[in-house]
Amino acid sequence: MAASSSLLFTLLLVLLTFSDSSVQTLGLEVGINYGQIANNLPSPARVSYLLRSLNISRVKLYDADPNVLLAFANTNVEFIIGLGNEYLQNMTDPIKAQNWIQQRVQPYLTRTKITCITVGNEVYKTYDHQLWSNLLPAMQTVYNTLVNLGLDKQVTVTTAHSLDILSVSFPPSAGAFRQDLGEYLHGILNFHAQVKSPFLINAYPYFAYKDKPNEVPLNYVLFQPNQGTMDPNTNLKYDNILFAQIDAVYSAIKAMGHTDIEVRISETGWPSRGDENEVGATPENAGLYNGNLLRRIEEKQGTPAKPNVPIDIYVFALFNENQKPGPTSERNYGLFYPDGTPVYNIGVQGYLPELIYSSATTNNGFSICSLLVLAIAYLISS
């Protein structure tokens, strides 16, 4: 039985090799958010096949799920793992921080490529002032623990913010952080400058359109041809709102005295379904947003203010998550359904073991489906 399982694994790898020549994969420097608030998702082992068939090599988790980290062992896929907000108080304690890293990170590092830990997520959106106060000490303690264990060159530390930490986002050159966050963000920025880790933002142009559909042009948020907007202070033209948001964050950081911190987008996406009041949440718009965004990434585009710095983005999300709370849109950000089929067409396809959804043929004339049938038939006959 062990030999048969090994053979099936080998045949599946051959299958993936065949399919790479006939099915378009992402093959881009794009990351993907792998959320798991659902009860119908495929196993991490199957997800590993799917992402590799898409040639996605960067994944962001919201925890440090050992099942996922083990499933991606020896795949060379880079992981950002997460410490939820509920861990922040404990992570201010050096002993508890060391225990967590030694139990949840260190055992996997020899085989799984963990490159970053996010300490908290959108902490300033909670209006919990205790969390606000714990964030920087938790980041510092986790980082110092990595230094003590000799892991700081391998794993960096950051946190992810929502875009509403900005009080001004347009024009981008006037970007500014909220005044009530000034004392907190000053310390956070000093930390990033010291350890050379990126400043992460979760940016969703969808919300700007949903809230003001009569004022925000749809084409401007979907990267479609449009008149664009001009920053009157710099005369830089913006043809999409996401790039304007990124540059607004850079301006806000600069206003606090830093020009050496890189801004990365830790989440962005578009829902394919929503409630009646969630204007624009359609598969067509989601396909345009993510498809056009992927093309910008493929072209290594930078923003108007940072044209030589290619945008660094993690798309939200890999799957629709059926147990996420909130409006309907929250459960419909996925590129894929849990069975591995695409929610909408953005010109890419992948492979989920046991569930084939491409009828493409290989250069040798075999259909991908027939190759899988041959593999299973061989096992039965043996």
pLDDT of residue 78: 98
Residue 6 has a pLDDT of 45
Range with lowest mean pLDDT among 106-110, 192-196, 265-269, 355-359 = 355-359
Question: How do strand 263-268 and strand 313-315 relate by DSSP bridges?
Answer: parallel
Q: Answer for the pair 81, 113: CB distance below 8 angstroms, yes or no.
A: no
What confidence tens digit (pLDDT) does each residue in 128-137 have? 999 999 999 9
pLDDT at position 22 over 50: no
Q: Is residue 341 part of a domain?
A: no
Distance CA 90, CA 66 (A): 20
Report the pLDDT value the prediction gives residue 350, as an integer from 0 to 100: 80
Q: Residue range 152-175: average pLDDT?
A: 98
Domain count, the chain: 1
Task: Report helix, strand or coil for 355.
Answer: strand
pLDDT at residue 91, as a whole number: 98
Asked if residue 342 is part of any domain, the answer here is no
Percent of the chain with pLDDT over 70: 85
Of 215, 267, 299, 330, which one is the catalytic site residue? 267
The residue-averaged pLDDT of 179-196 equals 98
Print burial letters for 234-253: b (CB count within 10 Å at least 16), e (below 16). eebebbbbbbbbbbbbbbbb
Quick check: is 122 catalytic? yes
In a domain, 161, yes or no: yes
Q: Is residue 328 part of a domain?
A: yes
Give pLDDT, residue 382: 38
Q: The domain containing residue 312 runs over which residues?
A: 26-336
Please give the average per-residue pLDDT across 319-326, as a whole number.
98
CB atoms under 10 Å from CB of 176, counted, come to: 15
Q: What CATH number does residue 81 fall under?
A: 3.20.20.80
Encode pLDDT of 37-72 as tens digits: 999 999 999 999 999 999 999 999 999 999 999 999
Average pLDDT for the chain: 89
- Between CA 23 and CA 358 the distance in angstroms is 8
C-beta separation of 156 from 192 below 8 A: no
Q: Which of 288, 190, 189 is nearest to 242 (CA)?
A: 288
Largest CA distance in the chain: 73
* Residue 9: pLDDT band with limits 50, 70, 90: very low
For residues 159 and 167, give the distance between their C-alpha atoms in angstroms, rounded to a whole number. 19
Average pLDDT over residues 144-168: 98
Evaluate if residue 186 carries a pLDDT over 80. yes
| pLDDT band, very low/low/confident/very high, at 352 (cuts 50, 70, 90) | confident
Query: Is residue 85 in a domain?
Result: yes
Find the catalytic residue in 29, 78, 86, 122: 122
The pLDDT value recorded for residue 347 is 77
Distances from the Cα of 119 to the Cαs of 18, 91, 107, 160, in angstroms? 40, 9, 19, 8
| Residue 187 clears pLDDT 50, i.e. is over it | yes
Instruction: Report the chain's C-alpha Rg in angstroms.
Output: 22
Q: 160 is written with which tokens?
A: 């992810």
pLDDT at 376: 35
With helix as H, strand as E and coil as C, how does 187-244 read?
Answer: HHHHHHHHHCCCEEEECCHHHHHHHCCCCCCHHHHCCCCCCCEECCCCCCEECCHHHH
Q: Which percentage of the chain shows pLDDT scores above 90?
A: 82
Q: Count CB atoms within 10 A of the CB of residue 62.
A: 18
In a domain, 360, yes or no: no
Can you give the pLDDT at residue 28?
Answer: 54
**At 334, is the secondary structure helix, strand, or coil?**
coil
| Banded model confidence at residue 368, pLDDT cuts 50, 70, 90 | very low
The confidence score (pLDDT) of residue 348 equals 74
Strand partners, 113: 78
- Residue 267 annotated as catalytic: yes
154/146 Cα distance (integer angstroms): 9
Inform me whether the pLDDT recorded for 3 exceeds 80. Answer: no
* CA–CA dist 201, 264 (Å, integer): 6
Query: Is residue 379 one of the residues assigned to a domain?
Result: no
Cα–Cα dist 265/239, whole Å: 18
